[in-house]
């Protein structure tokens, strides 16, 4: 029996990681021009998703929303958060303690407003969603504070 070299084994493992399915959801990047984004998003959604804006606290459609289903990116429909991970943080924005899949979001350091925060983006379209803070409930201890305008809701089918 022939054995593989360490390099060959590492390359095979890397290849498997790259092509391993992500739960049946394609994570191909979506890139559009500003004009294309403006065609599919409302002015308010464009401001939040593409210009890193924030909606006023307690104004968003999903702040006090309690249906069962999945919150998806308003820009590209990537599943982001399930209603089972939503909680009332009292902040005025929809809050979640974990994403549907950690590969569906990206995080970046945000040094705006004279503070350092962690910005949360859609990993597929790079749309600004909100921020994540380390003051959430168990089991993660995280609070993903997300703009309603960055989300669309897909209700769970009644069975």
User: Which are the catalytic amino acids?
Assistant: 145
Contact assessment for residue 123 and residue 105, using Cβ atoms and an 8 Å cutoff:
yes
DSSP codes, 71-89: EEETTT--EEEEGGGEE--
- Taking alpha carbons only, the member of 33, 118, 26, 34 closest to residue 77 is 26
CB atoms inside a 10 Å sphere around CB 53: 15
Joined together, the tokens standing for residue 88 give: 């009332």
**Strands, sheet with 151-155, edge to edge from the N-terminal-most edge strand:** 79-82, 69-73, 151-155
């Amino acid at each position: 029996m022939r054995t593989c070299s360490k390099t060959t084994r590492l390359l095979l493992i890397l290849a498997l990681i790259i092509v391993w399915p992500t739960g049946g959801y394609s994570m191909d990047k979506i890139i559009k021009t500003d004009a294309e984004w403006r065609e599919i998003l409302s002015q308010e959604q464009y401001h939040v998703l593409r210009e890193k804006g924030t909606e006023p606290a307690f104004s968003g459609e999903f702040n006090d929303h309690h249906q069962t289903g999945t919150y998806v990116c308003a820009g590209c429909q990537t599943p982001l958060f399930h209603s089972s991970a939503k909680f009332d943080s009292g902040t005025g924005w929809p809050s979640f303690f974990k994403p549907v899949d950690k590969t569906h979001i990206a995080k970046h350091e945000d040094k705006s407003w004279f503070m350092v925060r962690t910005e949360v983006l859609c990993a597929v379209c790079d749309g600004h969603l909100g921020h994540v803070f380390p003051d959430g409930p168990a089991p993660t201890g995280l609070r993903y504070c997300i703009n309603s305008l960055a989300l669309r809701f897909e209700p769970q089918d009644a069975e």
